[in-house]
Amino acid sequence: MTKVQIFTDKNQQGFLGFPNAVKANGLVFTSGVRSKPKKQKERNFSGIPQEYREKEQRFSLVDEFEGKVCYDAAHTHAALQDLLELCGSDSTQILRQHMWQRDKRFFPAYENIRKKVQKVPAPSSGLGVEYVFGDREGSIGLDAIAVCPNESSLYPQREVIAKLDNKKLPSAGFYSQAVKTGDLVFTAGHIPIKTSTEGMPVVTSFNDIPVEGRFLATGRSHPDSRDGPIAAQAWYTYNELKRTLENHDVKLSDTINSTVYLTDIRDFPVFHRIHTHFFPENGPALTVIGFSEVGHRGCLIEIELTAVKTLYKSKIKRVDWPVKPPFNAPAATITDNLIFLSGICGLKEDGTMFTSEQNSTEIKFPDTITQLLTVDSELVGQTWYALNIISEISKKAGSSIDNLLKISVYLKDEKDFEIFQKIFNSLVLKENFPALECIIIPNPGPTEHARIQIEAIASKI
């Protein structure tokens, strides 16, 4: 699978030194796409076409919030469309789209614009972030995976298999629930909302799900009031994803990647019990991240899946961890020439997180890395361990770290990216750089000690 980097003259010749996109075998992986006006005062309703100003009330203070969001929505989606067209694709071919929102309170204004610009709904996940990396004053960031029709026999034109207006489970917003290209199936981020029930209520407790989903319930109010909300929401979401896939002849066991967004990272242990219930063995690669907001108000979890529609189990191969497994998931899964890695944190050989309490001087870092330890030894250590684990997993999968196609780097603070980039540069040549997205959130990893987590897709050859 030949990797081609795509650079444009826009957005500082690539996203912070990385290519704007990477193409491989008919698939496009974009870096983060941002709206960057030359002047902040242009960021309002006056900066968008008249047909996009439906929310405008023509009072300066009233329009300040929504005007900025509408501007960013219009220009960011237009920039994404331009990038996809440059790569031989367009927004009708998006397989997965992430929408990073600085304030989900203004999601209605954002979606109103998205429906006008991106007229064909894409499978999407909308998450609330601390701020949009690369555009601190911005309100919207995007990234995407898309297909270039007719460029590869493996990945032909996108096909929608679960539409926006699916009668059994209508979408909660303007998005297609699942699409496919070849054998690959991508779902939108699913949330615990009963969209087929009058009033579309949020699942809030064990009482909101069938008895079969209440296996963690104790029947006592105190523990069930703590574990019940996340257990019920996780079970409901996975169960609905299972139904969505099975309605199109895909089994949940054919899932190769699960990305899970939590609003409270302390819910990870209970979520993990639910995850293990659905995937007792041979499960997908797994990434769990702590976000400011996910889905609707009241949602504790959002889950997006990638699956393989195939009758042949040999189509999916799993890669063992080079360290003690940190959770119930393989280090990576392989299908055709694509490798989906689990979320990788700075883990030591025993599977525990490297922390600042440990003596980093006893670890044999390269000289270039040792020089960074005085800046932030914990972040340096975790980044170094994470990237080396990615390298080891890639080798186990018959590839190398040079064959990364797309990485999503989750951090607590934008200043931490500089350390990540210096360490990444020491391991990967610029001509092999993948597409990159960076997301700033309260809990980058599945534990409170995680300073960085890296989610990656790579090519096998």
* Superfamily of the domain at 184-315: RutC-like (3.30.1330.40)
pLDDT in tens, 32-62: 999 877 777 789 999 999 999 999 999 999 9
Intrachain domains 1-157 and 344-461 with the same fold: yes
CATH of domain 1-157: 3.30.1330.40
Please check the confidence at residue 82 and state whether its pLDDT lies above 90: yes
Please check the confidence at residue 14 and state whether its pLDDT lies above 60: no
Alpha helix segments (H runs only) across 87-197 = 107-117
14, 134 contact by CB (below 8 A) = no
Query: What mean pLDDT is predicted for residues 148-155?
Result: 91
Q: Which of 94, 109, 105, 115 is nearest to 33 (CA)?
A: 94
Query: What mean pLDDT is predicted for residues 344-365?
Result: 81
Please check the confidence at residue 309 and state whether its pLDDT lies above 70: yes
pLDDT in tens, 86-113: 999 999 999 999 999 999 999 999 999 9
pLDDT in tens, 418-459: 999 999 999 999 999 999 999 999 999 999 999 999 999 999
More confident site: 9 or 319 = 319
Query: What mean pLDDT is predicted for residues 151-163?
Result: 89
Min mean pLDDT across 81-90, 241-250, 370-379 is at 370-379
228, 217 contact by CB (below 8 A) = yes
pLDDT at position 9 is 67
Q: What is the pTM of this model?
A: 0.95
Q: What residue type is 224 in one-letter code?
A: D
Please check the confidence at residue 166 and state whether its pLDDT lies above 90: no
Query: What mean pLDDT is predicted for residues 293-313?
Result: 87
Q: Residue 392 belongs to what H/E stretch?
A: helix 373-396
**Please, what is the average pLDDT of the chain?**
91
Helices (H) and strands (E) in the chain, counts: 7, 20
Q: Where are the domains of the chain?
A: 1-157, 184-315, 344-461
Residues whose CB is less than 8 angstroms from the CB of residue 237 and which lie 6 or more positions away in sequence, other chains included: 190, 191, 192, 301, 302, 303
CATH 3.30.1330.40 corresponds to the domain 344-461 = yes
pLDDT at position 439 is 97
341, 331 contact by CB (below 8 A) = yes
Backbone angles phi, psi at 317, to 5 degrees: -120, 145
pLDDT at position 360 is 58
